[in-house]
């Protein structure tokens, strides 16, 4: 594996269903992510973007092909190894998935708490600091129900980045946001990622954010049909 | 509370925060657990009361050995025992004294509502067989139709009971005779009668002419101090030529009676089932609350799974919720249960009430069964697949 790459996937095939209902979702996908890069994965609905994201994010088992993430082979990795790898990743979901019973700070603390050796005080301090970086210093004790859509997504960004992940996987993070909020969230993600050396793979079909990408991969019918380097 | 739980679990108290986020639902869940606790407390209270009421008459006597008919499962049932066995038992070198005990229910005719008194016919010149609290007055029974009355009997007013003294005896009608109570003792209502009464064996036989002085209900024996009770029982078994008789230590007879009442009599079985139903209701309530809570937060749990939280974390959260529900639901359950038992005790004069051992055992049971409910509810966590989040 090239040390400049954080992820290398080659000959990736994936199927869903069994028997007659078995359907192939990915066809011979090859993908590399350079350390610290900001990559956008585009494509129409059903093109396989989400499947790529779940495979790279250690959320599904690799069926066919090779995936090396953070210098570890995902093929044949145990559940415990996959869980340990996921702790080194940051996830941002389309629906932000904040815990409604936790304050903004507590939600961000959850992004740290699975790491051993982080005290409560350290986690609290880091969470408040991360919320400050995303411009929510005055919302640290707010519950998600009292935040706007853009603010919730910014909390999700803080939660994904607070543990200094090696790779952030973001799935349509701007889909539910207006133009300004979308631009704000993506800029934030890129700026904070760059500052921390974090690699980002962002799945979207939102053309408004393409100009922020270092690289754009286009996926159609389970195949990568275009790679555009901009960095 | 949140800080305390955070210190205990070493992480954010997600379970507590989830439960208290919707206060109405949390209050309803606690009310449900408290209700189950009250159910268990009431049933246990009645069951314990039955045990106390069963043992209560044994506390009125002092004996080492009791001889009963073969079909006698309790003090109050079974056939009679021939007095000749009392004489036979006296031949044993360790047996120092013996007394026939007669027993039957007497209805005190009070017009609208009779008082049923479990009546003991005893030899008034043998105070050594009677509890010292009563034995001092035993000589009063030498007068025909004299009684020592239970001042705690159901239906007897405090004023009536307080007025019963040797100088101001209380005469009343029972079994077609006029009995005279010269003094009282603290008995208490039971399940088989409203209270107790002591009369002499001669008065007893007058009340029940069909009974014979040659056939008491039980024979009580006293042994010389330091005698081996079991060895004496074994010798008596050989000495008494009726193998159908039950010859037991007095303590064993009381224990057998208790076991019989709790496991073989319908009332004991019914109250036992009542406790079981209370436990099951609690189990179902806690399971329902936890299971709904897990289902409601499946997306959040899936998110945590994606972030790298392992199964131990999720088990911990559900157990945390189970413990919070169990402990916080127990407190109102204890308060209400104590109130209900106290009220029932006052109304029925049964020995009903909350005891420390009962409170502790129900608390432990609540926590254990809440944790069990939590363990069952965690099965729903398997449905939280982080891959479905995308």
Domains along the sequence of chain A with CATH: 1-88+166-177+196-231 (3.40.50.300), 96-164 (no CATH)
Q: Is 90 exceeded by the pLDDT of residue B234? A: yes
Mean of the pLDDT values across residues B45-51?
86
For residue B154, the distance in angstroms to the closest alpha carbon of chain A comes to: 55
State the Rg of chain B over Cα.
29
Residue A86 in contact with partner chain B when CB distance is under 8 A: yes
Name the pLDDT band for B78 (thresholds 50, 70, 90): confident
Report the pLDDT averaged over residues B235-253. 93
Q: For B148-202, what is each residue's pLDDT tens digit?
A: 999 999 888 889 899 999 999 999 999 889 999 999 999 987 877 899 999 999 9
Smallest Cα distance from A115 to chain B, Å: 9
Q: What pLDDT, on the 0 to 100 scale, is given for residue B62? A: 96
Q: What DSSP string runs through B128-160?
A: GGB-HHHHTTGGGGGSTTEEEEETT-TT--HHH
Mutating which of B25, B294, B303 best tests the A interface, going by the most A Cβ atoms within 10 A?
B303
Comparing B309 with B221, which gets the higher pLDDT? B221
Place of tokens 């889909």: A175
Q: What is the mean pLDDT of chain A?
A: 88
**Which of B21, B301, B306, B312 should one mutate to test binding to chain A, selecting the residue with the greatest count of A CBs within 10 A?**
B306
CB-count exposure of residue B322 (10 Å: 0-12, 13-18, 19+): buried
CB of A34 closer than 8 Å to CB of A199: yes
Question: Is residue B5 scored above 80 in pLDDT?
Answer: no
Closest residue by Cα to residue A192 from A221, A158, A169: A158
Is the ipTM reported for this complex over the cut 0.90?
A: no
Q: Which residues contact B87 (CB under 8 A, 6 or more apart)?
A: none
User: Is B297 an 8 Å CB contact of chain A?
Assistant: yes
The chain-wide mean pLDDT, for chain B, equals 89
Section B47-70 average pLDDT: 92
Residue B381 has pLDDT above 90, yes or no: no
pLDDT band, residue B210 (cuts 50/70/90)? very high
Chain B touched by A24 (CB under 8 Å):
no
Is B386 within 8 Å of A84 when comparing Cβ atoms? no
Contact pairs from chain A to chain B, CB under 8 Å: 67
> Hey, are the CB atoms on B389 and A83 less than 8 Å from each other?
no
Tell me the shortest Cα–Cα distance from B28 to chain A, in angstroms: 18
Asked if the C-beta of B389 comes within 8 angstroms of chain A's C-beta atoms, the answer is: yes
**Is the per-residue pLDDT at A23 higher than 70?**
yes
The pair phi, psi for residue A20, each rounded to 5°, is -65, -25
Task: Copy the structure tokens of residue B171.
Answer: 């005469």
Rounded to 5°, the CA angle B121-B100-B265 comes to: 75
Q: What is the pLDDT of residue B242?
A: 87
The arithmetic mean of pLDDT across residues B103-128, rounded, is: 91
Quote the CA–CA distance of A41 and A52 in Å, as a whole number.
Answer: 9
Judge: A99–B300 Cβ closer than 8 Å, yes or no. yes
Q: What are the tokens at A201?
A: 């793979």
Report the residue from B6, B17, B310 with minimal CB separation from A101.
Answer: B17
B27: closest CA of chain A, how far (Å): 16
Q: How far apart are CA B307 and CA A87, in angstroms?
A: 6
Q: What is the pLDDT of residue A231?
A: 63
* Per-residue pLDDT tens over the stretch B272-290: 888 888 888 888 888 888 8
pLDDT value, residue A1 = 64
Kind and range of the H or E run holding B41: helix B23-55
């Amino acid at each position: 594996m090239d040390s400049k790459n954080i992820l290398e996937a080659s000959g990736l095939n994936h199927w869903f269903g069994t028997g007659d209902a078995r359907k192939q979702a990915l066809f011979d996908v090859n993908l590399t992510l350079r350390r610290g890069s900001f990559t956008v994965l585009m494509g129409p609905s059903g093109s396989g973007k989400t499947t790529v994201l779940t495979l790279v994010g250690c959320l599904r088992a690799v069926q066919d092909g090779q995936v090396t993430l953070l210098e570890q082979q995902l093929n044949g990795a145990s559940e415990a190894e996959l869980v340990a790898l996921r702790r080194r990743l940051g996830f941002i979901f389309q629906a932000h998935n904040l815990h409604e019973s936790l304050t903004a700070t507590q939600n961000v603390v959850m992004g740290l708490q699975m790491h051993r050796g982080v005290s409560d005080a350290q986690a609290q301090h880091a969470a408040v600091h991360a919320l400050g970086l995303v411009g929510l210093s005055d919302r640290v004790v707010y519950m998600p129900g009292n935040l706007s859509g853009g603010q919730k997504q910014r909390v999700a960004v803080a939660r994904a980045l607070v543990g200094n992940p090696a790779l952030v996987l973001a799935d349509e993070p701007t889909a539910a946001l207006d133009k300004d909020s979308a631009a704000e969230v993506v800029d934030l993600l890129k700026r904070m990622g760059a500052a921390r050396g974090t690699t980002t793979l962002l799945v979207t079909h939102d053309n408004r954010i393409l100009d922020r990408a270092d690289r754009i991969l286009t996926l159609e019918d389970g195949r990568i049909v275009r790679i555009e380097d901009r960095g | 509370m949140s800080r305390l739980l955070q210190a205990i679990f070493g992480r954010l108290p997600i379970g507590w925060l989830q439960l208290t986020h919707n206060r109405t639902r949390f209050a309803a869940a606690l009310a449900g657990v408290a209700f189950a606790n009250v159910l268990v407390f009431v049933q246990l209270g009645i069951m314990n009361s039955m045990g106390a009421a069963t043992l209560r008459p044994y506390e009125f006597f002092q004996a080492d050995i009791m001889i009963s008919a073969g079909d006698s499962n309790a003090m109050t049932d079974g056939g009679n025992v021939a007095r000749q066995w009392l004489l036979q038992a006296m031949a044993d070198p360790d047996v120092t004294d013996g007394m026939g005990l007669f027993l039957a229910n007497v209805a005190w005719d009070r017009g609208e509502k009779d008082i049923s008194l479990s009546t003991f016919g005893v030899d008034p010149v043998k105070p050594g067989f009677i509890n010292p609290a009563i034995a001092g007055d035993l000589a009063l029974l030498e007068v025909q139709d004299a009684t020592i009355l239970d001042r705690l009997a159901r239906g007897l007013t405090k004023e009536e009971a307080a007025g019963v003294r040797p100088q101001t005896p209380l005469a009343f009608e029972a079994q077609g005779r006029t009995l005279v109570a010269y003094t009282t003792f603290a008995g208490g209502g039971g399940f088989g009668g409203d209270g107790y009464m002591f009369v002499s064996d001669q008065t007893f036989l007058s009340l029940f002419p069909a009974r014979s002085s040659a056939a008491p209900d039980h024979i009580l024996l006293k042994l010389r101090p330091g005698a081996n009770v079991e060895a004496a029982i074994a010798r008596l078994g050989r000495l008494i030529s009726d193998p159908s008789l039950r010859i037991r230590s007095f303590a064993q007879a009381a224990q057998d009676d208790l076991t019989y009442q709790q496991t073989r009599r319908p009332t004991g079985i019914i109250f036992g089932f009542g406790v079981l139903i209370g436990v099951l209701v609690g189990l179902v309530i806690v399971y329902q609350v936890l299971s709904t809570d897990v289902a409601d937060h499946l997306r959040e749990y899936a998110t945590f799974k994606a972030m790298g939280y392992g199964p131990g974390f999720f088990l911990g959260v559900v157990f945390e919720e189970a413990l919070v529900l169990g402990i916080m639901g127990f407190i109102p359950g204890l308060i209400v249960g104590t109130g209900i038992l106290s009220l029932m005790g006052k109304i029925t004069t049964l020995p009903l009430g909350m005891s420390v051992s009962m409170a502790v055992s129900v608390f432990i049971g609540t926590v254990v069964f809440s944790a069990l409910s939590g363990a069952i509810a965690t099965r729903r966590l398997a449905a939280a697949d982080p891959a479905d989040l995308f």
